[in-house]
Amino acid sequence: MLTIWGRLSSVNVQKVVWCADELGIEYKRIDAGGKFGLNDTPEYLAMNPNGLVPVIDDDGFVLYESNAIVRYLAGKAGATALWPEDARARADVDRWMEWQSTGYTPAMGPAFMQLIRTAPDKRDIGAIEASRAKTEKLCGILEAHLAQGRCLTGERFTIADLVVACAAHRWLNLPIERTPRPNLQRWYDECAARPGSRQVTSQVPLT
Ligand SMILES: N[C@@H](CCC(=O)N[C@@H](CS)C(=O)NCC(=O)O)C(=O)O
Q: Are strands 55-58 and 61-64 parallel, antiparallel or unpaired?
A: antiparallel
How many angstroms is it from 52 CA to the middle of ligand 1?
A: 4
Q: Does the pTM exceed 0.85?
A: yes
Where does the pLDDT of residue 28 fall: very low under 50, low under 70, confident under 90, or very high at 90 and above? Answer: very high
Looking from the CA of residue 37, the nearest atom of ligand 1 is 17
Looking from the CA of residue 36, the nearest atom of ligand 1 is 17
Q: In what order do the strands lie in the sheet with 2-5?
A: 27-30, 2-5, 55-58, 61-64
How many angstroms is it from 182 CA to the middle of ligand 1?
A: 30
- Residue-averaged pLDDT of the chain: 98
* pLDDT, position 185: 98
In tens, the pLDDT along 86-110 reads 999 999 999 999 999 999 999 999 9
* pLDDT, position 60: 98
Cis omega before residue 110 (within 30°)? no
Looking from the CA of residue 53, the nearest atom of ligand 1 is 12
Q: What is the mean pLDDT of residues 27-31?
A: 98
Whether residue 161 contacts residue 152, with contact meaning beta carbons closer than 8 Å, is answered with yes
In tens, the pLDDT along 112-170 reads 999 999 999 999 999 999 999 999 999 999 999 999 999 999 999 999 999 999 999 99
Closest residue by Cα to residue 24 from 178, 206, 203, 195:
195
